[in-house]
A and B are shown apart, each in its own frame.
Chain A
């Protein structure tokens, strides 16, 4: 690309100025009378190229920046953000935040994170591996990926395309207690989505790979091949009759169960009494064999971070051990509301994972015997207040440990509290692509609604 080098050099200049910008914001906040302040500045840039049916479809050049500030006047706060880094815009943003703070109620839980919780040393987690593939190379990889998917079978006649995307970014967080942390990261991905068709209709499925280091992306042809095979195996899907049955969540969707757990354990939902796991600390919420942990410092992992969005040091810990809930997921504010300490979870979890069991997916299918394998979920039928769970599902009926036929247009329902207690086994087929990692999960009994 003729403009490539220009884009890069621009961003490099901005990157080097981010700490100065954060400093400027903190000083400005102080000048405008704030007793404390925090600011986060970020810049990012990237390229995304899509190919569909062998032809280039879109090429997108991304370049973003953002500055967010929160000011404190004692125990009152206000926030503002802007995408304009000019000094006057920055000053206006601080003024807007200060103006909001004036109208806020006094709340003694409001404030910066406790200074002794801030990250003292910032470990290098190896999260920054710029790639800069260039448009031609990105297109060629996407084309190779989609070709592999289209070659899987003659019934793969249509496609939503394959996309290569590469992104790099820098976040600088600082606060008026002297904390300044910088976090450069990269994220590269390759995805492919194709459509299989027969007399009965069309079925779409996809596969993707994502990595901090482009060298660790799954092979393009392999991704295409998986996407093709996954679409193909859904052909001929039918409804099931309504029944109670054991269910296996295939690894890529099993992580959603952990995300519902994280949501129920988030400090914000707890102090608002909006969680079905209120008052469950030290209680058994899973069977004995379940261990769920957070490992924020894994090298190169997608969910790794040395500090959270308040500058608090992240730490590895067990969230659930021997089935018993060990702690909640708290930021400073929710921790103070609950009379507890922050757990370094401002902004969410970092590499949350369930300890894998001994079996792969085939082993889990045999362990289940007869039941439902869910490979895709749709809809938002999860109530965090009550734990009531009801979502649309697609997958396969399993008979005697073997996949029998594809199913669709059914729902799977239960209550998350019961589903957690009935977690029979976790597979060792761990999906490491996301911030939440899980192998396939077998739940003892749920309700399937269909015909």
Chain B
């Protein structure tokens, strides 16, 4: 038995008196109807957050959530119930409720030989909440605040927050596979507001991943966020109105990879493609990007925010090539959609919690490096926009139209970055935006560990990344027309 599985059994099952025979009874209850597949998802999650404003840490919270999600699948139908009580009677109730999705008359008397599922080892099975004394967490935020104020006298407000999650999950599948994962996640965020001559602007920076709080002390990571947030805010003090219209746009490396997440990532999730509702449906094998573009979704990168040893259906994550040299190669799948499309899961079955159904979701989505020096890319643009940093984005899966909003951007005039411009939303069409990528930089960077993806009301942590890119024709939603 893997270490994670043993720990999960000890913390989730043993206190409720649930052993192999109880699990067999629960799966049996689910299979008492004509169910193709069923699973139980046990979860325990402890979360803390500390926040500083006005130079003081004044709020903190601690939350505990636990429960079990019970799912039964029959063809395309899914029955789902959950309970925040981990106990046999409550679980039998949930199993009965979930299984009624299928007709009665299945084989309820099952005999399962349990086997341990395969799992990756991408991060340590630690509890980040206990990795640092509480007083030191408070001190860390105070140091971040002081560092921000030290940067510039124009800093008016500093808001900093520190959050940690300790999570234990266990997946029990009707095919007898048992898997577990212990998932640490930490995050530090800094927001600063600067003021000059009555004009106020904001800068935001942060990061984290699947490790403990020590990360924020190594290489002055946390203090670096403070400096970065101030730098962005000060740049924005000088920003002029952004242009409006379609133009050449150069995207910086790292977090601007949110382009890939919105423009193609969601559209390549298996559920939309199984249903034929995505602008990418039925397009495997077709050209959807320029030859320079190879895009992957990789859940196997060590310590990353978007990485997972197993997905929430017990499938190990993998490095899935979505677009290879411009050709669409593969969708991201969970077990339900993979089965219905006659392929195998790519380890992208994820859920926000036991109280939500899994669906195909991204992990870390990025574009591989190309050959151009980033300076060369900027120098090649006569009149355009350089977008270095972004807030959020969104996509309409069916029409393929997507947006992402720049929070730090500049004009490019005659090959040089000149004035900063106000944040503006960029809009494009997913299936053709990457066909206009004319230069891919050699500076691939992943984001700092800040991404949270929302889909059908469920939030999960993700990562993005890309090298610098030149896109020949993207609509910039500024206010300066003509």
Contact = CB atoms under 8 A, between A and B. Distances in A.
Interface of A: 1-3, 6-7, 52, 55-65, 77-84, 89, 92-93, 96-97, 99-105, 107, 110, 135, 158, 160, 195, 201-204, 234, 237, 239, 242-244, 272-274, 278, 376, 378-381, 383, 385-386, 388, 390-392, 394, 408-415, 447-451
B479 A381 contact: no
A379 B404 contact: yes
B352 to A, nearest CB: 13
B66 A83 contact: yes
6 contacts: A2-B100, A83-B66, A97-B61, A202-B277, A273-B156, A379-B404
Contact of B61 (A65, A79, A89, A102): A79
A279 to B, nearest CB: 10
B357 A390 contact: no
B63 interface: yes
Contacts of A449: 244-246, 427, 475-478, 481
Given A81-B62, A102-B134, 12 more contacts: A1-B100, A7-B97, A63-B84, A78-B62, A84-B64, A96-B62, A104-B60, A376-B396, A391-B477, A409-B475, A412-B477, A449-B246
A81 to B, nearest CB: 5
A446 to B, nearest CB: 8
Contacts of B82: 61-63
B391 A381 contact: yes
B229 interface: no
Most chain B beta-carbon neighbours within 10 Å: one of A6, A383, A413: A413
Given A81-B61, A203-B398, A62 B53 contact: no
A107 B54 CA distance: 10
Nearest to B52: A105
B177 interface: no
- Chain A contact residues: over half helix, strand or loop, or mixed? strand
Contact of B138 (A103, A243, A244, A448): A103
B424 A413 contact: yes
A90 to B, nearest CB: 11
A85 B291 CA distance: 57
B275 A158 contact: yes
B195 interface: yes
Contacts of B393: 379-380
B168 to A, nearest CB: 15
A242 B400 CA distance: 21
A379 B80 contact: no
A379 B394 contact: yes
A381 B480 CA distance: 16
A79 B422 CA distance: 38
Contacts of A239: 475
Contact of A273 (B61, B157, B427): B157
B333 interface: no
Interface string B384-425: 000000011111111111111100000000000000001111
A266 B55 CA distance: 21
Contacts of A93: 62, 64
Contact of A242 (B50, B66, B84, B244): B244
B360 interface: no
B62 A64 contact: no
A445 to B, nearest CB: 10
B192 to A, nearest CB: 10
B451 to A, nearest CB: 14
A80 B50 CA distance: 12
A62 B62 contact: no
A385 B58 CA distance: 22
Interface residues of B, number: 82
B403 A78 contact: no
Nearest to B405: A381
B428 interface: yes
A447 B200 contact: no
Contacts of A394: 396, 399, 401
Contacts of B481: 242-244, 447-449
A107 B57 CA distance: 10
Contacts of A202: 277, 279, 398-399
Contact of A272 (B80, B135, B157, B391): B157
Contact of B94 (A61, A82, A380, A385): A61
A225 B276 CA distance: 22
Nearest to B476: A449
Given A391-B425, A414-B479, A385 B93 contact: no
A107 B59 CA distance: 10
Contacts of B245: 242, 449-451
B430 to A, nearest CB: 11
B195 to A, nearest CB: 7
A81 B277 contact: no
A413 B395 contact: no
Given A158-B276, A242-B481, A60 B475 contact: no
B39 to A, nearest CB: 15
Contacts of B60: 78-79, 100-101, 103-104
Contacts of B394: 378-380, 392
A274 B59 contact: no
B57 A105 contact: yes
Contacts of B425: 379, 381, 390-392, 411, 413
Contacts of A110: 58
Given A390-B478, A449-B481, A195 B398 contact: yes
Contacts of B67: 83
B174 interface: no
Most chain A beta-carbon neighbours within 10 Å: one of B96, B137, B245: B245
Contacts of A386: 200-202, 422
B83 interface: yes
Contacts of B257: none
Most chain B beta-carbon neighbours within 10 Å: one of A56, A195, A234: A56
Most chain B beta-carbon neighbours within 10 Å: one of A55, A158, A376, A381: A381
A61 B98 contact: yes
A274 B193 contact: yes
Interface in B259-309: 275-277, 279
B244 A447 contact: yes
Contacts of A381: 391, 403, 405, 423-425, 477
A242 B482 contact: yes
A202 B430 CA distance: 13
A115 to B, nearest CB: 22
Contacts of B397: 204
B442 interface: no
Contact of A378 (B134, B135, B396, B422): B396
Contacts of A451: 245-246, 475
Nearest to B244: A449
B77 interface: yes
B479 A60 contact: no
Nearest to A107: B58
A81 B58 contact: no
A384 to B, nearest CB: 9
A413 B101 contact: no
Nearest to B78: A58
Contact of A450 (B62, B78, B242, B475): B475
